Amino acid sequence: MEILISVVIALLTSCGVYLLLRGRTFPIILGLTLLTYAVNVFIFMSGRLNPGASTIIGVGERYTDPLPQALVLTAIVISFAMTAFVLVLALRARAELGNDHVDGRNSVEEVKS
Amino acid sequence: MNHLIIAPVLIPLVTGILLLLGTGRPPRVQRAISFISISAQLVAAIYLLSVAAGGDMLVYALGNWAPPFGIVLVLDRLSALMVTITASLAFFSLWYAVRDNDKPTDSLHSVVHFLLMGINGAFLTGDLFNLFVFFEVLLIASYTLLLHGGGAARIKSGLHYVLLNLVGSSLFLIAAALLYGLTGTLNMADMAVKVAATSPEQAPLMKAAALILLVVFGLKAAMVPLYFWLPRAYAAAAAPVAAMFCIMTKIGIYAIIRMYSLVFGDEAGVVANVATPWLWPLALITLALGATGALAARELRLQIAYLVIVSVGTMLAGVAMHSTAALSATLYYLMHSTWVCAALFLLADIIMRQRGATSDRIITGPRVKQPVVLGTLFFIGSAAVIGMPPLSGFLGKVMLMRSTVTDEQTFWLWFLLLASSLIMVTALSRSGSTIFWRTESRTTKASKTDKLALSAVMALFATSLVLSFAASPVVQYTNALAEQIMQPSIYIDAVLNHQTIEGVHHD
């Protein structure tokens, strides 16, 4: 289970970083989204892997740390809002600059080079 | 009066909501609310400063949940000073803005107050995850402010700024989660105790977390190699926004001082002073590259943005030296550079408007309308930012140079600080002489600048004179501040021994 989770986090992170390094806004936003998924799972794991346990003391025999769950909720909300913001900004940049390159290249030749 | 510690967070929050509800009201109303609010914040900040000056630590447990379980706000000398600098900077920026420099008015004022809420919260909080949340509050406000007014240049630099900071936020979360996983706490004082007891097996992970945090704060502070977003973004921003943003890099520096003295400081055991070997060379490279950029800049606002980077390098070098004297000098320099750089951004805006289509490019253009006033102000501002006596930049740099300890420190800091000053003299005298002396005989149709707007710039420059002529009390305060920071046990004891009010939670 531990290995599965760490492989998932590693895969999400590496795909996210690869997409972040692209030159166009759309893949970058996808990359950011993947990266935030990886981060969210990572925060969740900071409370240790404890399957089947409840977050309330006294309900079952074992209990799991509730704090990372609260933290990950905050992180999800914030990253969701930020992704929405950056999407609108990317669309606006596409309209203002005439293309979706992050540096706002002016012509087709420049984009190719 | 204990509740007053949360005023710097609550006042801007309420004002921001009020202004948001008042969208569509005449600008006069919006400006009045905004200006009254910032005046109230300034008064509250100065009161808090006077409380903190006595040396007491004020700990405020939100919701009366006892630390280390609940979130605490902590007022020490450092956070009180930072809150006061923020309030005064916002006061002068808004003073300039309300003189018709805030078009479109509706979207500027409310967002400025949300930004202030985030900044003040970041300075006051004693909880690592809460620091992240306040960072996000101030970041999303800063994204909107940076784009204020629209236009291709702002969108382009804004996109870089937003994307980089989103990656920075992800890194912050990774570091916070790592630290929580290792220490089981997010309260900074409690974390300091737990980090000090790190076992050698956990040291590599702890080191990784500490250095990931340094990347995040370095991005905020614009440290090499994470500063490339800054010059274009600041140069493209609207003038009151650019002036307000002079505090943004200082938030990164504040966070570095706080985390790497309190949590990863001298007493952190296996991870003691983990950031210092990185900070020192990076600070010096930042200093050198900033000065080079200022020399190469072909627009006045871009040049001033590079001067901000020079000041970042200078302050980080002071932090890296990690001594009471160096920290005191750094804080003195921080006050000076925040106010003077903000004044220069506002002055550049005035010059730009009076030159019409030539804008702020450093080329021969039409004469400005008020060459004597603006020229004098530009001269004073340049002298202050370069560090010429009798202005505050000079004192700050001398104190920093005197606080070096080893020969190696002395050689590199003296060499780079003096060389960068020389480069700044060259760069600023070139732009000054081009803009004010090598002009065409015509002037543009631009009207003269509003007297009150101009007085905001003058008042900001006057702070430089005040800082140097009232240097004795100011340095006394920064000395006491540095001593407090160098003894993290004061902070830790104050937070962990905090007594909550009895009889509030019944269970």
Name B299's bridge partners. Answer: B361
Residue B172 lies in a domain: yes
Mean pLDDT calculated for residue range B454-474: 94
Residues of B in contact with A48 (CB under 8 A): 181
Q: Given this model, what pLDDT does residue B100 score? A: 80
Q: How many domains does chain B have?
A: 1
Q: What is the dihedral of CA B174, B179, B182, B183, to 10 degrees?
A: -150
Residue B95 lies in a domain: no
Mean pLDDT calculated for residue range B384-399: 93
List, in order of start, the domains of chain A with CATH numbers.
2-112 (1.10.287.3510)
Mean pLDDT calculated for residue range B253-257: 96
Q: Given this model, what pLDDT does residue B1 score? A: 55
Mean pLDDT calculated for residue range B121-150: 94
**What is the C-alpha separation between A72 and B344, in angstroms, rounded?**
42
Residues of B in contact with A84 (CB under 8 A): none
Mean pLDDT calculated for residue range B434-440: 91
Q: Are B48 and B5 in contact (CB under 8 A)?
A: yes
**What is the C-alpha separation between A113 and B9, in angstroms, rounded?**
49
Each residue's pLDDT tens digit, B295-322: 999 999 999 999 999 999 999 999 999 9
Q: What contacts B228, CB < 8 A, 6 or more positions away?
A: B160
Tokens for B262, please give them: 């309190």
Each residue's pLDDT tens digit, B11-51: 999 999 999 998 888 889 999 999 999 999 999 999 999 99
Residues of A in contact with B152 (CB under 8 A): 96-97, 104
Each residue's pLDDT tens digit, B352-367: 999 888 888 999 989 8
Tokens for B496, please give them: 């962990």
CB contact (8 A) between residue B174 and residue A42: yes
**What is the C-alpha separation between A82 and B485, in angstroms, rounded?**
34
Please tell me which residue of chain A has the smallest CA distance to B70.
A67
Could you give the 3-state DSSP secondary structure of residue B499?
Answer: coil
Name B361's bridge partners. Answer: B299
Distance of CA B369 to the CA centre of its chain: 32
Under the banding of pLDDT at 50, 70 and 90, the label for residue B177 is very high
Checking if the pLDDT of B136 tops 80, the result is: yes
Residue B105 lies in a domain: no
List the pLDDT tens digit at each of the 113 positions of chain A.
889 999 999 999 999 999 999 989 999 999 999 999 999 999 999 988 888 888 777 777 888 888 999 999 999 999 999 999 999 999 999 988 888 888 877 555 555 54
* Residue B142 vs residue A100, higher pLDDT: B142
Q: Three-state SS across B436-475?
A: HCCCCCCECCCCCCCHHHHHHHHHHHHHHHHHHHCHHHHH
Q: Which among B114, B130, B159 is the top mutation candidate for probing chain A, defined by the most A β-carbons within 10 Å of its own β-carbon?
A: B159
Under the banding of pLDDT at 50, 70 and 90, the label for residue B503 is low
Residue B118 lies in a domain: no
Could you give the 3-state DSSP secondary structure of residue B328?
Answer: helix
**What is the C-alpha separation between B352 and B300, in angstroms, rounded?**
9
Radius of gyration of chain A (CA): 19
C-beta atoms surrounding B407 within 10 Å: 8
Residue B233 lies in a domain: yes
Range of the domain at B344: 150-496
Residue B103 lies in a domain: no
Cα-based angle B35, B40, B46 (whole degrees, multiple of 5): 125
* Residue B415 vs residue B439, higher pLDDT: B415
First to last CA, chain A: 46
Name A101's bridge partners. Answer: A24
Q: Given this model, what pLDDT does residue A106 score? A: 59
Residues of A in contact with B208 (CB under 8 A): none
Q: Given this model, what pLDDT does residue A59 score? A: 79
Instruction: Give the burial string for A33-61 (b: 16+ CB within 10 Å, else e).
Output: bbbbbbbbbbbbbbbeeeeeeeeeeeeee
Instruction: Give backbone dihedrals phi and psi of B74, rounded to 5 degrees, phi first.
Output: -125, 130
Residue B130 lies in a domain: no
**What is the C-alpha separation between B360 and B118, in angstroms, rounded?**
31
Q: Given this model, what pLDDT does residue B443 score? A: 80
Distance (Å) from the alpha carbon of B193 to chain A's nearest alpha carbon? 19
ipTM of the complex: 0.93
Residue B195 lies in a domain: yes
CA atoms within 13 A on the CB side of B162: 31
Q: Is B171 left (phi over 0), alpha (psi -120 to 50) or beta?
A: alpha
* Residue B2 vs residue B395, higher pLDDT: B395
Each residue's pLDDT tens digit, B335-350: 999 999 999 999 999 9
Name B73's bridge partners. Answer: B60, B125
Q: Given this model, what pLDDT does residue A96 score? A: 87
Can you tell me which residue has the tokens 């509030």?
Answer: B504
Under the banding of pLDDT at 50, 70 and 90, the label for residue B506 is very low
Q: Using beta carbons and an 8 Å cutoff, which residues of A are at the interface with B? A: 20, 25, 28, 32, 35-36, 39, 42-43, 45-48, 67-68, 71, 74-75, 78-79, 81-82, 85-86, 89-90, 92-93, 96-97, 102-104
Each residue's pLDDT tens digit, B196-247: 999 999 999 999 999 999 999 999 999 989 999 999 999 999 999 999 999 9
Q: Given this model, what pLDDT does residue B101 score? A: 80
